[in-house]
Structure 1
């Protein structure tokens, strides 16, 4: 019988492996395109988009703000997101000044669809779930993830074995506590699939001015039902979602392409620079120009 201590040993061993693979702070891509490794030596906050994927904390702690909800997951816990979500992520180091260590494995909707079809795991009676959830990792899942990460030290075998291990991880997810989140994503005509369609539209058209009632009509829902389910699934209203996408893109334009405040505001769909500055300050905690200056000093 697998004991709690066995799971903790695999987590600790995987943390050591990740610590060995990445010696510097930051977000590190790997030879496995869907896998990234993450390290922070000091507490930090990041505004970003969480895509369809599984995050695992191996050492330290992470707090994620989704809309008005704060989720905390620590070493040995996972966070699954099934819809692209703008979030604020806070990482905290482990005791004794040990760095935060974690990993992110992006998932693939065609693979989810294929696995569900082959396994016959689709339960049409499942109720609508949020598009994010925190769960403790179990032994079989973390052990499979560990084998995938360890393949990074075996480049000759990686091309052949990585796809097999990724399929195993998908099967473990579908048959575990996270399965309900993944299955609802691909259920034809489900509320979750309709909201996912709306989210995809907003992500690619957030600059445009659109009446949310028109977006509800696009996904064949009444305006009130659309707003209710959008908040249930994403943790925020459609307007909040659009606003966060706009502000994150404006921040990127000012920081990386050196646009001034007015230009960036206009490019992401704001007609009023003062409204942009107010909403920017509310989200990022500082006026646009000051925020960018502080980021450039980091």
Structure 2
């Protein structure tokens, strides 16, 4: 796809800033990386991500997905992943654009489109799909608004609607319609995930999850695993370890303090699970991360 995103790249690189991914366009973020990376924990929200240059690999439990500028990624809900930029350098940086999905707008658009027969649809709420010319052109119009910020309040909602309309027409239209539905397994699992995120430092209580999601124990476990690729306990563990790594990188807390802060009752158990997740004990992992950050800044 040489040149497929050339004008998009020019705009993105002119407007990307090193200290924030946010843009003046609501729900739109830019991400630029000048180096390939190792596996890094990240929390994907309910969003669509377009890679303009480079490629990336994301992994959740046993599921591994790779994509580049010939594809786009849809995440239906908040998922704790391991992400890895595969190819990027100073001359050809990794560049991506993400749009957080608005369930209300999806529902409004889906209501105006022909009714489709919905299948049960199995698999985690994360998918890779072929990029299309229609999506590329709508994305360019959205990015061009960064050059004329006064036009954003009027024109950005129109272009966002077109992008979502094209996505609803695509292979993941069923998944996007589920996001827009007021009820259903996906919406209920999102409620369970919200409870876990709000209480990640507390003991996981399945009864509370069932109450929050409105599901029985059997239904909760079945749908949670099918949609996220993780059990509720595994999901909570991923969130705890990601938060612990963030706190440790800040340099203001010891490993034992962080372990208790994120909900572990044993510092030794925290160290074992941290090692299993990130491939090194906390102190060495953070030291290596800081060395990588320093090297990137020097380069």
1:98 aligns with 2:56: no
**In 2, distance between residues paired with 1:114 and 1:150?**
25
Cα contact 1:64–1:72 (8 A) shared by 2: yes
**Aligned residues of 1:52 and 1:81 also touching (Cα < 8 A):** yes
**Candidates 142, 146, 151, aligned match of 2:140:** 146
Determine the C-alpha separation between the residues in 1 that align with 2:145 and 2:286: 39
8 Å Cα contact 2:195/2:212 also seen in 1: no
Question: Which whole-Å CA distance do the structure 1 matches of 2:119 and 2:96 have between them?
Answer: 34
Q: Which moved more, 1:198-207 or 1:8-17?
A: 8-17
Equivalent residue for 1:234, pick from 228, 231, 252? 228
Instruction: Name the SS of the counterpart of 2:215 in structure 1.
Output: coil
TM-score by length of 1: 0.89
Given that 2:34 and 2:89 are in contact with CA atoms closer than 8 Å, whether structure 1 keeps it comes out as no
Instruction: Tell me how far apart the structure 1 counterparts of residues 90 and 205 of structure 2 sit (CA, whole Å).
Output: 51
Number of aligned pairs? 291
**Residues 223 and 44 of structure 1: CA distance in aligned 2, closer, same or farther (over 3 Å):** same
**Structure 2 unpaired stretches of 5+:** 294-299
What is the 5 A alignment of 1:18-33? 18-22=12-16, 28-33=21-26
Q: What residue in structure 1 maps to residue 50 of structure 2? A: 56
2:32 matches 1:39:
yes
CA–CA distance in structure 2, aligned partners of residues 30 and 219 of structure 1: 33
> Structure 1: any 5+ residue segments left out of the alignment?
none
Question: Could you tell me whether the CA contact under 8 Å between 2:54 and 2:68 is conserved in 1?
Answer: yes
The answer to whether structure 1 residue 203 and structure 2 residue 192 are counterparts is no
1:261 and 2:261 equivalent? no
Of 168, 173, 183, the residue aligned with 2:177 is 183
> What is the Cα deviation at residue 151 of structure 1?
1.0
Aligned residue among 11, 14, 23 for 1:17: 11
Q: Cα distance, 1:126 vs. partner?
A: 4.4
Which SS does the other structure have where 1:200 is aligned?
helix
